[in-house]
């Protein structure tokens, strides 16, 4: 991905929409209901944006929604891309590059994940405090786009402390319980073995999932503030592990969805 391709996407969007989104939101598995809360100005299917990947997972729709949420101008990515679909991490993170060039300063990323911390339960929400990249790849590999950020970006605060405290405040006001922990990203698409869950827990992760980390890295490369929110869709305790289906994951995401929607709405209203 180079600056010309990114600029081309921005031009494709600018040909149709002149608004100035301040917050970018990437909706993860089963969290699509937030899109219904957006006062929509304009929406654009991914296939109408040149070089934009097209989502292959059925539970994800592929379009950008522009409008306002809680009175704040936003762009929402409905349908995201994963490494297990065969995309490169550069393709996966192209929308984040585009967000930045549209003027977005804050990125909110949501996902479904497996909970390994024994205090976490299915349906709980975790604010991502930090992450571990086990994707075996990095979206910043290749020539650095100097116009957008440094060769060796700092990662001492991948998830904004300010946004974390804002999110915790919002959760408290709404009476929603949230955890705060470490997300480890793996490629998938298979779920982990018991030995892998033991390993991932022992290296310091509270939850495991197949997304979010590439988007966070690229956002930080460009100096955007990131908030990551995870729904725990299955309990990954190696000594009592149960088989998990996609239906089980989607069901838990659906149960947590109203909490999540409420929370993100509230957070966004406090950002700008
Ligand atoms: N592992 C990895 N990714 C996931 C899981 C899991 O257990 N649950 C939902 N996404």
Parallel, antiparallel, or unpaired: how do β-strands 106-115 and 225-235 relate? parallel
The protein residue with its alpha carbon nearest to ligand 1, atom 2, reads 209
User: Given this model, what pLDDT does residue 249 score?
Assistant: 87
Is 29's pLDDT higher than 80?
no
Structure tokens at 66: 């522009």
Q: Which residue has the higher pLDDT, 99 or 53?
A: 99
| Residue in the structure block whose two tokens are 């490494």 | 83
Reduced to 3 states (helix: H, G, I; strand: E, B; else coil), residue 26 is strand
User: Given this model, what pLDDT does residue 200 score?
Assistant: 98
φ, ψ at 162 (rounded to 5°): -60, -45
Residue 206: give the domain boundaries: 3-270
CA 141 to chain centre: 20
pTM over 0.85: yes
Is 9's pLDDT higher than 70?
yes
Compute the residue count for the chain: 272
User: Given this model, what pLDDT does residue 98 score?
Assistant: 96
Is 30's pLDDT higher than 70?
no
110 lines ligand 1 (CB under 6 A): no
Is 37's pLDDT higher than 60?
yes
Instruction: Report the number of distinct structural domains present in the chain.
Output: 1
Which run of H or E residues covers position 99?
Answer: helix 89-101
Please give the distance, rounded to the nearest whole angstrom, from the Cα atom of residue 47 to the centre of ligand 1: 28
Secondary structure E strands in 186-222: 207-209
CATH of the domain at 110: 3.40.50.1580
Ligand 1 nearest-atom number relative to CA 210: 3
Is 76's pLDDT higher than 90?
yes
Reduced to 3 states (helix: H, G, I; strand: E, B; else coil), residue 254 is helix
Task: Tell me the percentage of the chain whose pLDDT exceeds 70.
Answer: 97
Rounded distance between C-alpha atoms, residue 93 and residue 155, angstroms: 17
233 lines ligand 1 (CB under 6 A): yes
The protein residue with its alpha carbon nearest to ligand 1, atom 10, reads 113
The protein residue with its alpha carbon nearest to ligand 1, atom 3, reads 209
Which run of H or E residues covers position 40?
Answer: strand 39-45
Please give the distance, rounded to the nearest whole angstrom, from the Cα atom of residue 111 to the centre of ligand 1: 10
pLDDT tens sequence across 173-220: 999 999 999 999 999 999 999 999 999 999 999 999 999 999 999 999
Rounded distance between C-alpha atoms, residue 135 and residue 188, angstroms: 9
271 lines ligand 1 (CB under 6 A): no
Where residue 61 falls among pLDDT bands split at 50, 70, 90?
A: low
pLDDT tens sequence across 240-254: 999 998 888 888 888
Is 165's pLDDT higher than 90?
yes
User: Given this model, what pLDDT does residue 79 score?
Assistant: 86
N-terminal to C-terminal alpha carbon distance within the chain: 31
Secondary structure E strands in the chain: 23-27, 39-45, 63-69, 72-78, 106-115, 125-133, 178-185, 207-209, 225-235
235 lines ligand 1 (CB under 6 A): no
Contact by Cβ (8 Å): 202, 183: no
Closest residue by Cα to residue 176 from 107, 228, 109, 231: 231
Rounded distance between C-alpha atoms, residue 73 and residue 39, angstroms: 9
């Amino acid at each position: 991905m180079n600056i010309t391709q990114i600029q081309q996407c921005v031009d494709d969007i600018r040909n149709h929409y002149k608004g100035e989104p301040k917050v970018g939101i990437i909706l993860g598995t089963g969290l699509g209901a937030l899109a219904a809360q957006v006062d929509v100005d304009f929406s654009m299917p991914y296939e109408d944006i040149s070089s934009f990947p097209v989502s292959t997972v059925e539970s994800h729709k592929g379009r950008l929604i522009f409008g306002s949420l809680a009175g704040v101008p936003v762009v929402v990515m409905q349908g995201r891309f994963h490494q297990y679909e065969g995309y490169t991490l550069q393709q996966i993170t192209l929308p984040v590059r585009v967000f930045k060039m549209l003027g977005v300063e804050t990125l909110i990323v949501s996902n479904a994940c497996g909970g390994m911390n024994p205090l976490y339960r299915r349906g709980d929400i975790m604010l991502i405090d930090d992450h571990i990249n086990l994707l075996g790849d990095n979206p910043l590999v290749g020539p650095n786009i100097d116009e957008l950020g440094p060769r060796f970006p700092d990662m001492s605060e991948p998830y904004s402390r300010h946004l974390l405290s804002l999110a915790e405040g919002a959760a408290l006001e709404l009476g929603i319980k949230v955890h705060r922990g470490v997300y480890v990203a793996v490629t998938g698409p298979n779920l982990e073995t018991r030995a892998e869950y033991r390993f991932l827990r022992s290296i310091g992760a509270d939850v495991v999932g197949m997304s979010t980390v590439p988007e966070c890295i690229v956002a930080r490369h460009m100096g955007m503030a990131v908030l990551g929110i995870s729904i725990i869709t299955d309990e990954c305790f190696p000594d009592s592990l149960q088989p998990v289906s996609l239906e089980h994951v989607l069901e838990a995401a659906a149960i947590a969805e109203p909490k999540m929607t409420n929370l993100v709405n509230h957070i966004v209203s406090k950002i700008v």
